[in-house]
Structure 1
Amino acid sequence: MTPAAPGPFRAAPAPLAGAFRAEWTKLWTLRSTAALPFVAAAATVAVSAFVCAAADPRTVACADGCDPARLALSGVYCGQAAFALLGVLVTTGEYRTGLITYTLAAVPWRPAAFGAKAAALLAAVLPAALVAVGGAVTLGRPLLAHHGFAATGGRGIGGALLHLVLVALLGLGVAALLRGTTAALTAVLALLYLPPVAALLLSDARWAAWAPSPTGRGPAVLATVTTAALLLGATRFARGDPS
């Protein structure tokens, strides 16, 4: 009797280093993903610089006080969309073109294949997030000081950095679960942007407090959502039909 073929979780593990190199090469070979880390960093810095240049403590918008640290990192709320898109495309691009079949043929142990995607994404996102947050703060501080705002110190930098990394991993997890670029990106952006909008429309600060954001309890909320998305995405990636 021929023994049954091992399932995705019982197959012999492929060398993770080789799988990582393959995912890293694919990420930087495809124009759709290779440009996104630079676009994400540039968008974050540009929006933060624009907001800081336009900020004025004497305006009505700052009548109750404007947090200079939040102003310096305001570009994160725009740049996070590009980080999310990068995480989504790392997975959905292969499902769209059918290349996922070849990926799984080369790395039959699916947890290793998924882990390699996450590791390659993390290795690309972390430097981009460092540039984005560092650039936003570096440009924002003198612009805010010129308008009379107090020094921001290093407040919020760690939360913003973690936020951008988690957003990219959230995109990866949701994309592995839904497998379609449009559906996955829509779901991720809804998670990121709808709670703050709901807080404004309902005039209820509780919505904003639980929104995935770089401040307050936002990073903890986002980390929880991202962990759930990665677990669900990894499960479908390992057990689902690749076609």
Structure 2
Amino acid sequence: MTAVTSEPALRTRSASTSPSRLTFARLLSSEWIKLVSLRSTWWSLAVAAVLSIGLSALIAAVTRDLGAGPGGGPSLAAVNVILLPTQFTMLVAGILGAIAITGEYSTGMIRSTLTAQPRRGAVLAAKAIVVSLVLAATTVVIYAIAILVTAPLVTTGVDWSDASQSVIPLAFGVFAMVVYALIGLGFGFVVRNGAGAIAATVGVLFVLPIVFSLFSIAGESWQWLVDAAQYLPSNAGGTLASTGGSDKLPAFLAMVAWAVVPLGLGWTVLRTRDA
């Protein structure tokens, strides 16, 4: 009797400790394979690289031709030459984040994913981590190439001796690109449709700042809305990546909120709706 009752328990313990069990590390590996095996991922990263490096070179050439700024210094800091294209590449990052999950819904792969890993929060976390790592690594490489390409074109190179003029803005630029991608990923989980998620992402990153800026001519009663525009992701990211020692904490907290809230909504939808 003892042998009969202990054998199922033994099998249960053996199954729970089996090396084939889907751990979080293996879930990360799975999400990595899914992301890097998509042609759309590489096309998006290539577009971001071409836009960023090309625009940086163009800005460097233009500012050099314009000559020195006030006081005889360079008309534009070299690190700003590298970071200004982020206002365009942020859309690519957001779109990449959106299609990283909406593609799974369109093909039905999300069902296989959730069958293999029923803990839906773990699926969202793994995908967010992988998307963040890919965007961060790609942005670092893009910035490095852009610095090398623009070095012959700027009158004064990046001042690496001053962190506020070099490392800190570049690090915040990488952080901003990651946040833009997570915003798209969050909308992708919520909307579950590629076109809809991309539209929502572009609306938040690009359209809302334009709409908010229109209220600058509407009088003092609408000034609060103009002031609130600085906390939109594109404006807050620009503030973080700017040079100088201004207080960046409000912009940083705004960016964190812009990453957390869409992902939180996506987690809620993922838990409460069938795939």
Instruction: Say whether the 8 Å CA contact 1:195–1:207 is kept in structure 2.
Output: no
Aligned to 2:185: 172
Change (3 A) 1:53 1:90: same
The gaps in structure 2 that reach 5 residues or longer are 1-15, 160-164, 217-222, 241-247
Output the CA distance in 2 between the equivalents of 1:142 and 1:48: 12
Q: Give the alignment's Cα RMSD to 1 decimal.
A: 2.8
Letter in 1 for 2:231: W
Question: How do 1:134-213 residues align onto structure 2 when only pairs under 5 Å count?
Answer: 134-145=144-155, 153-154=165-166, 156-198=169-211, 200-203=213-216, 206=227, 208-212=229-233, 213=237
Aligned to 1:214: 238
The CA deviation string for residues 203-242 of structure 1, in whole angstroms up to 9 with x for no partner, is 4763553332232454432221111111111121122110
Change (3 A) 1:67 1:221: farther
Instruction: Say whether the 8 Å CA contact 1:14–1:107 is kept in structure 2.
Output: yes
Change (3 A) 1:177 1:141: same
Aligned to 1:229: 262
Question: How do 1:116-135 residues align onto structure 2 when only pairs under 5 Å count?
Answer: 116-135=126-145
Instruction: Say whether the 8 Å CA contact 2:139–2:177 is kept in structure 1.
Output: yes
Aligned to 1:29: 37
Higher helix fraction (1 or 2): 2
Aligned to 1:5: none
1:78 aligns with 2:102: no
Please report how far the alpha carbon of residue 100 of structure 1 lies from its aligned counterpart in structure 2 after TM superposition: 0.9
Instruction: Say whether the 8 Å CA contact 2:151–2:157 is kept in structure 1.
Output: no
Instruction: Say whether the 8 Å CA contact 1:27–1:34 is kept in structure 2.
Output: no
Instruction: Say whether the 8 Å CA contact 2:57–2:150 is kept in structure 1.
Output: yes
Choose the corresponding residue for 2:23, options 7, 15, 18. 15
Moved more, 155-164 or 218-227: 218-227
Output the CA distance in 1 between the equivalents of 2:232 and 2:269: 26
User: SS at 1:143's partner residue?
Assistant: coil
Instruction: Say whether the 8 Å CA contact 2:64–2:153 is kept in structure 1.
Output: no
Letter in 1 for 2:62: A
Instruction: Say whether the 8 Å CA contact 2:179–2:258 is kept in structure 1.
Output: no
Output the CA distance in 2 between the equivalents of 1:38 and 1:16: 29
The CA deviation string for residues 177-203 of structure 1, in whole angstroms up to 9 with x for no partner, is 111111111111221123442455444
The gaps in structure 1 that reach 5 residues or longer are 1-11
User: SS at 1:144's partner residue?
Assistant: coil
Output the CA distance in 2 between the equivalents of 1:46 and 1:219: 28
Output the CA distance in 1 between the equivalents of 2:174 and 2:65: 26
**TM-score calculated relative to the size of structure 1:** 0.80
Output the CA distance in 1 between the equivalents of 2:49 and 2:252: 19
The CA deviation string for residues 29-57 of structure 1, in whole angstroms up to 9 with x for no partner, is 12112332233233222222222222358
Change (3 A) 1:40 1:241: same
Find the structure with the greater CA-based Rg: 2
Output the CA distance in 1 between the equivalents of 2:119 and 2:213: 46
% same residue:
26
**TM-score calculated relative to the size of structure 2:** 0.71
Aligned to 1:238: 271
Please report how far the alpha carbon of residue 143 of structure 1 lies from its aligned counterpart in structure 2 after TM superposition: 2.3
Alignment length (residue pairs): 225
Instruction: Say whether the 8 Å CA contact 1:170–1:226 is kept in structure 2.
Output: yes
